[in-house]
Amino acid sequence: MHEYTVRPITSEDQDFLWEIVYHAIHVPPGAEPPPRSILNEPGVSKYVREWGRPGDFGLLAEEQKTSQRIGAAWLRLFTLDDPGYGFVDENIPELSIALFPGFRGSGIGTALMTRIFEHAKSLYPAVSLSVVASNPALRLYERLGFQRVSVTGNSITAQLRFA
Ligand SMILES: CC(C)(COP(=O)(O)OP(=O)(O)OC[C@H]1O[C@@H](n2cnc3c(N)ncnc32)[C@H](O)[C@@H]1OP(=O)(O)O)[C@@H](O)C(=O)NCCC(=O)NCCS
The predicted model scores a pTM of 0.97
- Is pLDDT above 90 for 1? no
Local confidence band at 7 (pLDDT 50, 70, 90 cut-offs)? very high
49 CA to centre of own chain: 14
- Is pLDDT above 90 for 36? yes
Output phi, psi for 49, to 5 deg.
-60, 150
Of all protein residues, the one whose alpha carbon is nearest to atom 42 of ligand 1 is 24
Of all protein residues, the one whose alpha carbon is nearest to atom 27 of ligand 1 is 137
Local confidence band at 67 (pLDDT 50, 70, 90 cut-offs)? very high
Q: Which of 63, 62, 126, 139 is nearest to 95 (CA)?
A: 126
Local confidence band at 163 (pLDDT 50, 70, 90 cut-offs)? confident
Quick one: 4-122 is in which CATH superfamily? Gcn5-related N-acetyltransferase (GNAT) (3.40.630.30)
- Is pLDDT above 90 for 111? yes
Q: For residues 25 and 19, what is the distance between their CA atoms, to the nearest angstrom?
A: 11
Mutate to test the pocket of ligand 1, among 100, 104, 146, 159 (most ligand atoms within 8 A of CB): 104
Q: How far is the CA of 137 from the centre of ligand 1 (A)?
A: 5
Q: Domain residue spans in the chain?
A: 4-122
